Amino acid sequence: MSEAQEKQTTETSKKIPFVDYLILDDPPYLQAQECTSCDARYFDRRNACASCFEDQFRPVAIDREGIVTSFSIVQMGPIPYVSAVVDCGGTSVKCTIMNVEPSPEHVNLGMEVKLMTYSMGQDSEGTEAIAFGFEPI
Amino acid sequence: MGADTIWIIGSNMTRFGKHPDKDVVDLAAEASREALKDAGISLSEVGVLGVGNLMNAGAGIGQQLQKQIGQTGIPVFNVSNACATGATALRVAVMAVKAGETDVGMAVGVEKLAGAGLLGQRGPKPESETWQPSGRVGALSSTEGRIGTSIMPGVFAQVGMEYGHKYGGTSFELFAKISEKNHSHSTLNPLAAYQKRFTLEEIMNDVMIAYPNTRPMCSGNCDGAAAMIVVSDEKMKSMSLEVQKRAVKISASVLTSDPYVDGCQILPDVNTLTRNAAAQAYEQAGIGPEDLDLVELHDCFATAELVHYDNLMLCEEGGAVDFFESGAPWRDGAKPVNVSGGLQSKGHPIAATGIANIHEIVMHLRGEAGDRQIEGARVGLAHVIGLGSACGVHILEKVA
């Protein structure tokens, strides 16, 4: 368990985020690592900045609302879902669009969406995992 | 002493499709031996071998091939570079000849994929009793479906949709029409895995894989190999007139990777590296997109073909939809694109693709493309992109 998740587990009584960059605050938000030298933003564990090669980063909170700049309705499994890229105030976020019918009539480029979270269930120790998605505003 | 000009004197591709009776080495051997025969040279003259294969990247397919067709002790470079693997193998041969290390290089790309299903899909992790974060984002389980998709049809669907968001004018029907064009072209290519013409309605009503790409709008997994013999100018001039007459000049050979741009680690940016490769290739060749008689570009999905019209500068920036709707990329249009049928119908045996698309150009420039010959073709461009990403662009010219 990562340090961030461990901290959140104790603070939120056995709730952990699906990924490190989902911060289970009130309200929850996504947190990027921003390069202190060139402002490039990342969501994964970094060795250095892919843009300027420096290695110092600061955590930044990402806007909780954005617009869909690209999407696909993936229909290869039993349950179709909407994969999308959302522009949250200039930062691109990859996500699944929730609470929308997965059909071209209901999903549009430029659609306004907001961050949401949902439970993925509990493990054998009673720890609840919380995932994120975006939903239409 | 390096060589300034590199020539293709031998080229071959196997039929793409299902080859249940042949293994990877059989297919590679067939293409290699035919390419040598086409060049009229012996394997003993080849000084470097570049071999691309993705699915058995650690297996030393190059040496396995040598064990079957001839062990001459020359350096072998086994390469793996996603869908640009074939172009990378050719780059190795070209670079070696260019550097003066040898006068003759051979490049081979081979893949067996028939029945492989969708690529890029990762199975679920074994169920654990407790949540266990893993990987670079500390995910508790597979992110596939939970955080969008990383499966190819979905990723490339989003590449096309992103273009639509930026410039407008795209629709499900438009993307389907691109596929209609390529399937129509494929009816003239006897080496294509699928030679069936589809109506627009058939394409749009087929099984949806990842909107807006239905099944015929996706490249077909199949088996196949392609091989090419490249030589220095000096070597070419020492060969028979018959070989010289059929030789095709490599006016540009470029390989790029994806440079950092905002958001490129969210949705792979297949545009910038293609545009960079095209710009470098046009400069190397000293020609522009207006000079091209035909183009084979990487239509792994119908949505991808659209963006590469723009990336390869076949149209004004943002003008890909108008370019397509003008009829230009049809085989009787102003700028024929994927007259082979493209990956959607010719098939996409991954590591073979980056050599096979160059082979297609070679056939047209030699005037040997049969029923699908683009009359009088003298200049062509071949493009591949492998997600991750790697992009190969080659410009070929008929000089003799």
The CATH number linked to B84 is: 3.40.47.10
**B137: in domain:** no
Per-residue model confidence (pLDDT) at position A13: 63
Q: What is the mean pLDDT of chain A?
A: 93
| Claim to verify: residue B186 and residue B175 sit in the same structural domain | yes
Q: What is the mean pLDDT of chain B?
A: 95
Cβ(A30)–Cβ(A130) under 8 Å?
A: no
Three-state SS across chain A? CCHHHHHHHHHCCCEEECCCCEECCCCCEEEEEEECCCCCEECCCCCCCCCCCCCCEEEEECCCEEEEEEEEEECCCCCCEEEEEEEECCEEEEEEECCCCCCCCCCCCCCEEEEEEEEEEECCCCCEEEEEEEEEC
Spell out the residues 6+ positions from residue A96 whose beta carbon is closer than 8 angstroms to its own: A81, A82, A83, A84, A133, A134, B145, B146, B147, B148
What three-state secondary structure class fits B167? Answer: helix
Pair B364, B294: CB distance under 8 Å: yes
Residues of B with a known catalytic role: 83, 348
Determine the Cα angle at B159 with ends B275 and A108, to 5°. Answer: 140
Shared domain check, B263 and B197: yes
Q: Do B108 and B200 belong together in one domain?
A: no
C-alpha angle A88/A93/A94, rounded to 5°? 145
Q: Which amino acid is at B70?
A: G
Same domain, yes or no, for B321 and B384?
A: yes
- Interchain contact B171–A (C-beta under 8 A): no
Does residue B392 share a domain with residue B258?
yes
pLDDT in tens, B113-142: 987 665 655 544 455 689 999 999 999 999
CB burial of B1-37 (b: ≥16 within 10 Å; e: otherwise) equals: eebeebbbbbbbbbbbbbbeebebbbbbbbbbbbbbe
Claim to verify: residue B159 and residue B183 sit in the same structural domain: yes
Q: Distance (Å, rounded) from C-alpha B96 to C-alpha B88?
A: 12
Same-domain check for residues B243 and B287? no
Whether B189 is in a domain gets the answer yes
- Whether residue B368 sits in one domain with residue B280: yes
Could you give the CA distance from residue B185 to residue B180 in angstroms, rounded to a whole number?
9
Find tokens 């909107």 and name the residue: B211
Structure tokens given for B341? 């049928």
B62 and B194, same domain (yes or no): no
**Contact partners, residue B238, CB within 8 Å, separation at least 6:** none
User: CA A20, CA B245: separation in Å to the nearest integer?
Assistant: 62
Number of domains chain A contains: 1
Q: Is residue B26 part of a domain?
A: yes
Residue B36 lies in a domain: yes
> Which region, left, alpha or beta, applies to residue B376 given φ > 0 means left and ψ of -120 to 50 means alpha?
left
At B53, which amino acid appears? N
Which tens digit of pLDDT belongs to each residue from B298-336?
A: 999 999 999 999 999 999 999 999 999 999 999 999 999
Pairwise CB contact (< 8 Å): B137 & A45? yes
Residue that is written with structure tokens 């035919």 in the block: B34
Please check whether residues B106 and B197 belong to one and the same domain.
no
Question: Does A60 or A13 have the greater pLDDT score?
Answer: A60
pLDDT in tens, A53-106: 999 999 999 999 999 999 999 999 889 999 999 999 999 999 999 999 999 999
Chain B environment of A1 (Cβ under 8 Å): 132-133
Q: How many domains does chain B have?
A: 2
* Domain enclosing residue B319, as ranges: 152-215+251-397
Residue A73 is nearest to which of B141, B145, B210, comparing CB atoms? B210
* Probe site for chain B from A6, A14, A62, A76 (most B CB atoms < 10 A): A76
Residue B10's H or E segment, with its range, is strand B6-13
B145 contacts on A by Cβ (under 8 Å): 74, 77, 81, 83, 96
* β-bridge partners, B52: B79, B109
Q: How close is the nearest chain B Cα to the Cα of A64, in Å? A: 16
In a domain, B141, yes or no: no
pLDDT in the model for residue B4: 84
CB-CB contact of A134 with A98 (8 Å)? yes
Q: Which segments of chain B have a pLDDT < 70?
A: 1-2, 116-128, 400
Residue B130 resides in a domain: no
* H or E segment and range at residue B209: strand B208-211
**B147 inside domain:** no
